[in-house]
Amino acid sequence: MSNETWQWQEDGCTVSRSTQWSGPGCHNGCGILYYTKGDKLIKVEGDATNPYNAGRLCMRCLNLTEAVNHPDRLKWPLKRAGNRGENKWERIPWDEAYDIIEEKVKSIKKDYGPESIIGMEGTGRNIIWQVPYLTYAGFESPNYTLGFLSGDACYLPRAAQQAVMQSDFFVTDCAQHFETRYETPEYEVPKVIIIWGNNPIISNGDGFFGHWIIDLMRKGSKLIVIDPKLTWLASKADFWLQLRPGTDSALAMSMLNVIINESLYDKEFVEKWTAGFEKLKECVQEYPPEIASEITWVPKEMIIEAARFYAKNKPAAIQWGLAVDQQVTGISAAQAITSLWTITGNVDVPGGNVISKSGFNVDDGYNCGIEWVSEDTLQKRLGNESYPLKMYGFASTAHGDSVLKAIESGKPYPVKMLWLQTTNPIANMGSEAPRVYDAMRKVDFNVVVDLFMTPTAVACADIVLPAGMSLERDSFRAWFAPLRAISKIIQYEECKSDEQIVLDLGKRLNPAAFPWKTVEEWLEWKFGNAKDHYPDAFQIPWSGKTYRERGNTRGVTFKELQERGWIYADWQYRKYEKGLLRRDRQPGFNTADGKIQLFNTLFDDWGLNPLPYHEEPPESPYSAPELYKEYPLILTSGARSWEFFHSEHRQQPTMRIFHPDPLVTIHPDKAKELGIKDGDWVWLESKRGRCKQKAKLAATLNPKVVSAEHGWWFPEKPGAEPILFGVFDSNINNLTAQCQNGETGYGAPNKGLLCKIYKVTEENSQVMPTMQVTKMGGFGYDRK
Amino acid sequence: MTENKASSRNGLLIDYEFCTGCHSCEVACMKELKLPPEQYGIRVLEDGPRKTPKGKWDWTYLPFPTSLCDLCEDRVKAGKKPSCVQHCQAAIMTYGPVEELSKKLAEKPKMVLFTPV
């Protein structure tokens, strides 16, 4: 093995050091060694020299050979040959596919305006700047969004709230910004870590290698886990707060109540670096522990003790996750949780919540290329008309629910084309999946770019393009530290990298915005290099966000990064003291007055709640008691599995050996009451629809709560309708809803709805949900 | 078994207190030994989650090497760690001479030492 070079020979294989991101993949970007012979992947190993994962890999990466060498991969461009849903395709050359797309885009732009084209991707993976750039600079449309994601409820509520409150991203400090990691002299191990609404060891959300938590536990960190479900981490925690889904805001406000009223907060920090503390103090009086206990179902004493434990042990960090976003008060919960680490002074200090930056700032994510959208067109971004956060530029996407409504109603203007790049909305990203299915089929022209033939592609695509997997593309990972190279090592059939596809099309659609001859040259532009070669591409400012400076690697080229594998940028603690956060280089946070806004004046100006508050989920035992009689269980869904990333990995035999079926977890007492045994197939039903999963009995939940899996489809079943890979049969998104957002437009109550459960029998299973949706018009309820 | 073998025997020390049940060792091993479906060189056993009479939760995973484990003889010869040890996400596995590992075994509770071959 050699650290001198990124490629070498070993056992008759070429070994290449790179980063595995996606697809297929997750929100990590682990150092990996690919062993290849010619264009075939033989095996993978973790890269022990890469400080990010230090040689460790999860089972999905270890099983990459089954993904990369899978016979069902898309191999060349396809044009629909039968009707939508028939799964009949004709192989066409790339140029023909591009010709068709170019002609359609140009005619739609001419007849309906660029805003009638929607660019979509799945969750934020290695297309987070490429698809936005294609949408904004190629289509010149303002409508880039995450596959119908209701309430943009995946990190975006937290991101938007942070943008307004203090303008930077905070992460739990696991020394991930230093190449020397835990050995870094100024680093401190958090005494306490709160794990809030996620199970990081499985979910690895947002560039966070979840097992760093285990590293820290072994170095002495104690845990507080806030989760309706007993996770393995919760079983090891000093405090497990088993809250009712959707009540995070009330719990956080009550913890603030204890910390403020018992004077356990950091007075010096609050005085110097925050604004609005007195108003927050007044507001938390509405949430004394006895009231919060009634709302959240967490015992009063537990709230008090956990709040004290967090406040009294410094440094302490909060590792938060998706559950924060997936409630109507997503923004509010995020504000309350941010207030916790703020008033305790755990801000940008060793072992606290620290301000992260993407590697050398080269990642401007969802806004990449927005300067190519004209001012008039930008105002037409779907959702702007209803939500000030969107209108005033604190949001980086169109609003998923507003896109859905525009397709359904043709208002405020018709949607004529969907560009779906590695997103599979009817299997995963869209809640109320049958509704999303109907909407997508209504659109005149749809293009799907993906790794495999998905239910979404069969149901609605007119053109399908094959994307290369991670080791088939030159790219990079900058979210967060370090900046990592992703190298093209093999070529699979006619697949092209996402970058190449976007560049090819962009050059046809708007050549001025795509001056680069090769992907590598485009990457140099992202790195802030090659200014002399492409002066035109630099004339327009980097991004719509005036407060964030354009990234640059200070001359490091893509080839150099590839050789080195990764580079850590300079990174410091207490940046607010050092003038490192503001453009004017003055100390403080990047807000108007330089302080963290505990009272959100901008929200106040816009008529939104300036302080955190609890609002009942729209379908809860308290807000909808009549509904609760018919659907007496609280449904949460979306907990991650080791084997799968959302709707991916279902075609890999090894993953299905470990996890063959979709599982719904039910408390044994509740199951007994319902006559359900472990391993029984059961129907889960809400007022919108039903799906079938297998019962797993575990006392890890409150008996009134059940937890179902998401993302299930069955690649082993036929693709043509009415089977459609069985995509609706076990789909929990038959039960969830679109268009139930918070006042900001953000947040969706998908982790806290009402359902009932009953055993599957022959007579109640005559019509399977996929048949019901594809051939019988769906479940027949009023769509709101 | 010869004296020589006994003095040079290697083993796996596992700090099972922090095993998260992530299956990385199982899949790493399958790939390394090129095992057919549903064959394992190491398996992860699970106890719990179970509430103890003291009101605490017991939820423990325990990886143990099966008869197919050869302690990655070929990898070790090539200067690498056994594949399960290298890839364990919780980094709780140590490979080495039994003599050295037994000293470490005494350093903290909830550890186990396996000698598969």
Domains (range + CATH), chain B = 3-114 (3.30.70.20)
Minimal CA–CA distance to A216: which of A180, A185, A186, A174?
A174
What pLDDT was estimated at residue A357? 78
Q: With an 8 Å Cβ cutoff, is B59 touching chain A?
A: yes
What pLDDT was estimated at residue A544? 34
A727 secondary structure, DSSP code: T
Judge whether residue B75 has pLDDT over 90: yes
Domain ranges for chain A, please list them.
7-68, 78-152+362-567, 169-356, 625-775
Give the residue from B16, B59, B62 with the most A CB atoms within 10 Å of its CB, the best one to mutate: B59
What pLDDT was estimated at residue A379? 93
Minimal CA–CA distance to A779: which of A460, A434, A442?
A434
A6 φ/ψ angles, rounded to the nearest 5 degrees: -90, -10
Minimal CA–CA distance to B25: which of B9, B10, B14, B11?
B14
Q: Of the candidates A232, A642, A699, which has its C-beta nearest B23's C-beta?
A: A642
Quote the CA–CA distance of A712 and A702 in Å, as a whole number. 25
A366 φ/ψ angles, rounded to the nearest 5 degrees: -65, -10
Quote the CA–CA distance of A485 and A505 in Å, as a whole number. 24
Q: List Cβ neighbours of A162 (8 Å cut-off, separation of 6 or more).
A: A168, A169, A170, A334, A338
A7-68 fold: N-terminal domain of TfIIb (2.20.25)
Minimal CA–CA distance to A32: which of A526, A520, A566?
A566
**How near does any CA of chain A get to the CA of B8, in Å?**
26
Minimal CA–CA distance to A693: which of A735, A664, A722?
A664
User: Are the beta carbons of B27 and A700 separated by less than 8 Å?
Assistant: no
Token duo for residue A350: 């060793």
Q: Please name the amino acid found at residue A453.
A: M
Token duo for residue A441: 């089929």
Q: Of the candidates B15, B28, B37, which has its C-beta nearest A62's C-beta?
A: B28
Q: With an 8 Å Cβ cutoff, is B111 touching chain A?
A: no
H helix runs in A379-518, sequence order: 388-391, 400-409, 433-442, 455-460, 498-509
Chain A, 617 to 646: residues with Cβ < 8 Å from chain B are 642-643
Q: Of the candidates B18, B31, B51, which has its C-beta nearest A699's C-beta?
A: B51
What pLDDT was estimated at residue A300? 98
Q: Of the candidates B38, B79, B91, which has its C-beta nearest A56's C-beta?
A: B91
Q: Please name the amino acid found at residue A181.
A: R
What pLDDT was estimated at residue A538? 46
Residues of B in contact with A643 (CB under 8 A): 23
Q: Is A498 helix (H, G, I), strand (E, B) or coil?
A: helix
What pLDDT was estimated at residue A4? 67
Give the residue from B15, B20, B50, B59 with the most A CB atoms within 10 Å of its CB, the best one to mutate: B20
User: Are the beta carbons of B24 and A56 separated by less than 8 Å?
Assistant: yes
A625 secondary structure, DSSP code: H
pLDDT digits (tens, 9 = 90+) for A351-375: 999 999 777 778 767 888 998 999 9
Quote the CA–CA distance of A267 and A560 in Å, as a whole number. 47
Q: Are A315 and A175 in contact (CB under 8 A)?
A: no
The structure tokens 């503001």 sit at A582
**How near does any CA of chain A get to the CA of B19, in Å?**
9
Q: With an 8 Å Cβ cutoff, is A63 touching chain B?
A: yes
Q: With an 8 Å Cβ cutoff, is B43 touching chain A?
A: no
What is each CA distance from A313 to A252, A255, A260, A274, in whole angstroms? 17, 14, 15, 21
Rounded mean pLDDT, B32-54: 96
User: Are the beta carbons of A235 and B26 separated by less than 8 Å?
Assistant: no
Q: With an 8 Å Cβ cutoff, is B110 touching chain A?
A: no
Q: List Cβ neighbours of A609 (8 Å cut-off, separation of 6 or more).
A: A332, A603, A743
Cβ-based neighbour number of residue B103 at 10 Å: 10
Q: Are A729 and A769 in contact (CB under 8 A)?
A: yes
DSSP bridge pairs for A15: A8, A35
Q: Please give the helix or strand (H or E) that residue A742 lies within, else none.
A: none
Q: With an 8 Å Cβ cutoff, is B29 touching chain A?
A: no
Among chain B residues, the shortest Cα distance to A59 is held by B24
Q: Of the candidates A57, A232, A643, which has its C-beta nearest B20's C-beta?
A: A232
User: Are the beta carbons of A59 and B51 separated by less than 8 Å?
Assistant: no
Q: Please name the amino acid found at residue A699.
A: A
User: Are the beta carbons of B20 and A211 separated by less than 8 Å?
Assistant: yes
Q: Are B25 and B16 in contact (CB under 8 A)?
A: no
Q: Is A91 helix (H, G, I), strand (E, B) or coil?
A: strand
**How near does any CA of chain B get to the CA of A725, in Å?**
24
Give the residue from B89, B93, B104 with the most A CB atoms within 10 Å of its CB, the best one to mutate: B89
User: Are the beta carbons of A57 and B24 separated by less than 8 Å?
Assistant: yes
User: Are the beta carbons of B28 and A56 separated by less than 8 Å?
Assistant: no
Q: With an 8 Å Cβ cutoff, is B47 touching chain A?
A: no
CA-based angle A65:A68:A74, to the nearest 5? 155
What pLDDT was estimated at residue A541? 40
Minimal CA–CA distance to A498: which of A298, A337, A265, A506?
A506
Quote the CA–CA distance of A487 and A489 in Å, as a whole number. 6
Superfamily of domain A169-356, CATH level 4: Dimethylsulfoxide Reductase, domain 2 (3.40.228.10)
Q: Please give the helix or strand (H or E) that residue B85 lies within, else none.
A: helix B83-87
Q: Are A330 and A157 in contact (CB under 8 A)?
A: yes
CA-based angle A346:A348:A351, to the nearest 5? 65
Residues of B in contact with A700 (CB under 8 A): 49
Low-confidence ranges of chain A (pLDDT < 70): 1-4, 364, 530-550
Q: List Cβ neighbours of B23 (8 Å cut-off, separation of 6 or more).
A: A59, A642, A643, A658, B44
User: Are the beta carbons of B87 and A56 separated by less than 8 Å?
Assistant: yes
Cβ-based neighbour number of residue B48 at 10 Å: 17
Residue B108 burial (CB < 10 Å; 0-12/13-18/19+)? exposed
Minimal CA–CA distance to A299: which of A750, A702, A754, A752?
A702
Cα dihedral A615→A618→A623→A626 (10° resolution):
180
Instruction: For the sheet with A13-20, list strands across it.
Output: A7-10, A13-20, A30-37, A40-46
What pLDDT was estimated at residue A687? 97
Q: Of the candidates A201, A230, A654, which has its C-beta nearest B27's C-beta?
A: A654
- Directed axis angle between helix A248-261 and helix A277-284, to 10°? 110
Q: Of the candidates B18, B21, B49, which has its C-beta nearest A698's C-beta?
A: B49
Q: Are A274 and A596 in contact (CB under 8 A)?
A: yes
Give the residue from B34, B57, B83 with the most A CB atoms within 10 Å of its CB, the best one to mutate: B57
Q: Go through chain B and tell me how many residues it has.
A: 117
Q: With an 8 Å Cβ cutoff, is A57 touching chain B?
A: yes
CATH number 3.40.980.10 given to A625-775: no
The DSSP secondary structure of A155-181, one letter per residue, reads THHHHHHHHHHTSSEEEE-SSTTSTTG
**How near does any CA of chain B get to the CA of A756, in Å?**
25
Token duo for residue A281: 């103090």
Q: Of the candidates A55, A642, A699, which has its C-beta nearest B86's C-beta?
A: A55
Give the residue from B14, B24, B26, B108 with the most A CB atoms within 10 Å of its CB, the best one to mutate: B24
Judge whether residue B61 has pLDDT over 70: yes
List Cβ<8 Å contacts ≥24 apart for A300-308.
A302/A239, A302/A241, A303/A241, A303/A251, A303/A254, A303/A255, A303/A258, A304/A258, A305/A239, A306/A224, A306/A239, A306/A241, A306/A255, A307/A254, A307/A255, A307/A256, A307/A258, A307/A259, A307/A264, A308/A258, A308/A259, A308/A262, A308/A264
The structure tokens 């495999």 sit at A452
pLDDT digits (tens, 9 = 90+) for A322-353: 999 999 999 999 999 999 999 999 999 999 99
- DSSP-derived pairing of the beta strands A445-450 and A78-80: unpaired
The DSSP secondary structure of A240-267, one letter per residue, reads EE-PPTT-HHHHHHHHHHHHHHTT-S-H
Q: Are A454 and A427 in contact (CB under 8 A)?
A: yes
Q: With an 8 Å Cβ cutoff, is B57 touching chain A?
A: yes
Cβ-based neighbour number of residue A175 at 10 Å: 22
- Top-tier CATH class for A78-152+362-567: alpha beta
Q: For chain B, count helices (H), then strands (E).
A: 5, 5
Q: With an 8 Å Cβ cutoff, is A698 touching chain B?
A: yes
Quote the CA–CA distance of A144 and A131 in Å, as a whole number. 8
Q: Is A541 helix (H, G, I), strand (E, B) or coil?
A: coil
Size of interface A-B (CB pairs under 8 A): 85
